[in-house]
A = this chain, B = another copy of it.
């Protein structure tokens, strides 16, 4: 299976989960590579959550320079945003919350 089809299969599997509202794959500069959202939501999520992942990483390093960020989960009343920063990609998954949606 090529890397491309592997990525496609993974996105299909994750975004097919009932609680998942959508997901994005961003380049390390925050440029959307893949998204299951409409264009305007993709733009909103990608700019905000890329900054947020970068801030999370620097907060972790400020506390302990030997440490590195694995992921961030931001739980709000309506949604949960899971940001998984990797070397070349950022993966963002947006899920509903049982009390939200």
User: Interface residues, chain A, CB within 8 Å of chain B?
Assistant: 44-45, 48-49, 51-52, 55-56, 59-60, 62-64, 66-79, 81, 97
Contacts and interface: CB of A to CB of B under 8 A. Distances in A.
Nearest to A99: B70
Which 7 residue pairs across A and B have the least CB separation, nearest first?
A73-B73, A70-B75, A60-B76, A67-B76, A67-B78, A52-B59, A68-B77
A86 to B, nearest CB: 13
A75 B63 CA distance: 13
A70 B63 contact: no
A69 B59 CA distance: 18
Which of A56, A72, A74 has the most CB atoms of chain B within a 10 A radius of its CB?
A74
